[in-house]
Amino acid sequence: MADPVSALQAILGPKGWLSGADAASYQRDWLNRYGVAPLGVARPATTSEVAGVVKTCLEFGLAVVPQGGNTGLCGGAVAEQPNAVILSLSRMAAIGEPDRDSGSIVVEAGVVLAALHEALEPHGLMFPLHLGAEGSARIGGLIGTNAGGSHAFRYGMMQDLVLGLEVVMPDGAIWDGMRAVQKDNAGYQLRKLFCGAEGTLGIVTRAVLRLHPTPRQQASALLVMSDFAAAVSFGAFLRGEAGEFLAGVEFFSDLGLQLALKHVPDLTYQLGVRGDVYLLVELASGSTRVPLDEILNSALEWGMEQALVLDGALATSGAHRAQFWRLREEQPEGQRLEGEQLKHDISVPPGAIARFIEAGAKVCEDILPGVRINPFGHLGDGNIHYNLSPPEGHADFGGKAVAFADALSALATEMGGSFAAEHGLGRAKIAMADRNRGPVERDLMARLKAALDPEGIMNPGILVRSRLERKTFE
Ligand code: FAD
């Protein structure tokens, strides 16, 4: 029997295998919290090469860690043991011709999200998933984490945008589920099983994605709100007024604005007034006959009459709209550049956002007085990125990270929400999942994993503990 590296090199050819210093840029996660040097990085160019890599890893007892753009925020795309192969999909980046009549497209798993947006532009079609990391995140990773982003409220999460999939299973078999239809009730919804599986059940190699016509018009506004309760009330009003034209309601806090303006070059805020919270509201329509500006303006007037909205401006051009979006999208960067941070990816029913923010502030103040709270996210679907910076003058959180995570997860669960809204679990939240899931749910997930990946080679140590590991844990 050859050694594993020779066997993998024989499958992949010279371009397809990296090790040592060449593999260094694949090693650590985006937040630089996890990752050890793997045996090497496999960069297959075809599905059959992916299958060959998986079979070889199975034969030699190596872990397989799929990696897309490595922008995941839970450390799921890097190795935690040296006898692992990182399987990068970056060379599988072909984009098919869009099928306009059906509203679908076939893509390989390594396609970068922004490249897909760009490729669709001339066709008057769009793939409606948008997030801050879209310049690097790849389709396989977006499926792996079941990504959400700023338009999930209107178009759904990745699982709602995937029609068909091709997946290399943990034994190297290739599942061809590349159907291009929304309605397919022939048994279990296998395609959904891989959305959010974080590479623990198989490797996505191709997908059929659902497309939408590009809106012919958009109306966007940046609003200054008196507080979070006002933001929630205004969001609910807007849902009624704008109905299906409402494409997104994003929010960020005044601390978030301060940090972004302090750290991110060329960022400007042009409204005269500051408030506790800001909303970025967007309406979109495929028809030019719908009076979007009028709908948004009259909602704004109502908000001002009710003293919910302190100030606001409608975007007057594409560049103006882009300026508003940058303020929202640079929130993670502003906080990252401020230094040490704790991230919590919470969701609660949208109507409970203000209550969560208020109760969360009390919980956090009790744990570490003066801790700076910087919530931002997706008001439309109740997803709060509840991020913390240490108190002014402190370099860190004084060992309180777990206390914050536990208290905030418990609060979200109590309000009918989730402690892991759109970023997944990865390595970062596996212990939290153990504490927050009931025994039946934990067991279901472990059984599913064991049934599909009995040797446990697919991305071990993330998302789910094997039943054996759980015995030790419990
Ligand atoms: P990676 O980080 O490479 O991988 C993520 C997971 O998927 C890993 O477990 C990996 O093993 C698995 N995986 C990768 N490729 C495959 C494959 N082919 N088959 C099976 N499994 C695979 N997320 C949101 O949902 N909404 C946001 O608004 C959002 N904003 C972000 C903003 C910033 C600035 C950053 C840095 C991240 C943000 N994220 C957001 C998180 C991140 O971008 C998403 O999780 C994204 O889906 C990850 O894609 P990726 O290609 O980088 O995946």
- Please state the rounded mean pLDDT for residues 111-120: 98
Q: What pLDDT is recorded for position 326?
A: 95
Q: For 29-62, write each residue's pLDDT tens digit.
A: 998 999 999 999 999 999 999 999 999 999 999 9
Residue 145: count of CB within 10 angstroms of its CB: 28
Looking at the fold, whether 227 and 303 belong to one and the same domain comes out as yes
Looking at the fold, whether 138 and 206 belong to one and the same domain comes out as yes
Looking at the fold, whether 300 and 355 belong to one and the same domain comes out as no
- Please state the rounded mean pLDDT for residues 329-356: 95
Residue 77: count of CB within 10 angstroms of its CB: 31
Pairing state between β 104-108 and 203-210: antiparallel
Last residue of a domain, one of 182, 198, 213: 213
For tokens 């008057």, the residue is 124
Assigned domain for 421 exists: no
Assigned domain for 250 exists: yes
Looking at the fold, whether 327 and 359 belong to one and the same domain comes out as no
Assigned domain for 451 exists: yes
Q: What pLDDT is recorded for position 229?
A: 97
Q: Is the CB of 131 under 6 A from ligand 1?
A: yes
Q: Is the CB of 336 under 6 A from ligand 1?
A: no
Q: Is the CB of 35 under 6 A from ligand 1?
A: no
Q: What pLDDT is recorded for position 1?
A: 59
* Residues 280, 269: Cα–Cα separation, whole Å: 13
Instruction: Please tell me the residue having the least CA distance from ligand 1 atom 25.
Output: 147
Q: What pLDDT is recorded for position 472?
A: 42
Assigned domain for 427 exists: no
Q: Is the CB of 73 under 6 A from ligand 1?
A: yes
Ligand 1 centroid, distance to 161 Cα (angstroms): 15
Looking at the fold, whether 369 and 328 belong to one and the same domain comes out as no
Ligand 1 centroid, distance to 146 Cα (angstroms): 8
**Is residue 435 scored above 90 in pLDDT?**
no
**Is residue 259 scored above 60 in pLDDT?**
yes
Question: Please, which residues have CB within 8 angstroms of residue 368's CB and are 6 or more apart in sequence?
Answer: 390, 391, 397, 398, 400, 404
Q: What pLDDT is recorded for position 431?
A: 86
Ligand 1 centroid, distance to 134 Cα (angstroms): 9
**3-class secondary-structure state, position 4:** helix
Q: Is the CB of 112 under 6 A from ligand 1?
A: no
Last residue of a domain, one of 62, 88, 114: 88
Ligand 1 centroid, distance to 145 Cα (angstroms): 6
**Is residue 345 scored above 70 in pLDDT?**
yes
* Residues 129, 410: Cα–Cα separation, whole Å: 29
Q: For 117-131, write each residue's pLDDT tens digit.
A: 999 999 999 999 999
**Is residue 471 scored above 50 in pLDDT?**
no
Assigned domain for 383 exists: yes
Query: Which domain does 251 fall in, by range?
Result: 217-332
Assigned domain for 98 exists: no
**Is residue 468 scored above 60 in pLDDT?**
no
Q: Is the CB of 77 under 6 A from ligand 1?
A: yes
Looking at the fold, whether 206 and 224 belong to one and the same domain comes out as no
Ligand 1 centroid, distance to 184 Cα (angstroms): 27
Looking at the fold, whether 203 and 241 belong to one and the same domain comes out as no
Ligand 1 centroid, distance to 73 Cα (angstroms): 7
- Please state the rounded mean pLDDT for residues 205-217: 96
Range scoring the smallest mean pLDDT among 164-168, 288-292, 387-391, 429-433: 429-433
Ligand 1 centroid, distance to 178 Cα (angstroms): 22
Looking at the fold, whether 322 and 266 belong to one and the same domain comes out as yes
Q: Is the CB of 137 under 6 A from ligand 1?
A: yes
CATH code for the domain of 240? 3.30.70.2190
Looking at the fold, whether 121 and 197 belong to one and the same domain comes out as yes
Assigned domain for 46 exists: yes
Q: Is the CB of 334 under 6 A from ligand 1?
A: no
How does the average pLDDT of the chain come out, rounded? Answer: 94
Looking at the fold, whether 323 and 343 belong to one and the same domain comes out as no
Q: Is the CB of 68 under 6 A from ligand 1?
A: yes
Confidence of residue 2 (pLDDT cuts 50, 70, 90): confident
Instruction: Please tell me the residue having the least CA distance from ligand 1 atom 38.
Output: 133
**3-class secondary-structure state, position 259:** helix
95: β partners:
107
Give the predicted TM-score (pTM) of the model.
0.92
Instruction: Please tell me the residue having the least CA distance from ligand 1 atom 27.
Output: 149
Ligand 1 centroid, distance to 53 Cα (angstroms): 22
Q: What pLDDT is recorded for position 467?
A: 54
Rg (CA), the chain: 23
213: β partners:
125
Percent of the chain exceeding pLDDT 90 equals: 93
In the chain, the number of structural domains is 5
Q: Is the CB of 70 under 6 A from ligand 1?
A: yes
DSSP 161-216: HEEEEEEE-TTS-EEEE----S---SSS-HHHHHTT-TTSS-EEEEEEEE-EEPPS
**Is residue 317 scored above 60 in pLDDT?**
yes
Q: For 176-203, write each residue's pLDDT tens digit.
A: 999 999 999 999 999 999 999 999 999 9
For tokens 């509840």, the residue is 386
* Residues 81, 129: Cα–Cα separation, whole Å: 33
Ligand 1 centroid, distance to 310 Cα (angstroms): 36
Looking at the fold, whether 253 and 320 belong to one and the same domain comes out as yes
Last residue of a domain, one of 310, 332, 354: 332
Looking at the fold, whether 229 and 318 belong to one and the same domain comes out as yes
For residue 65, which atom of ligand 1 is closest to its CA? 11
Confidence of residue 436 (pLDDT cuts 50, 70, 90): confident
Q: Is the CB of 132 under 6 A from ligand 1?
A: yes
Q: What pLDDT is recorded for position 469?
A: 53
Assigned domain for 426 exists: no
Token representation of residue 87? 């399987």
Percent of the chain exceeding pLDDT 70 equals: 98
Ligand 1 centroid, distance to 420 Cα (angstroms): 14
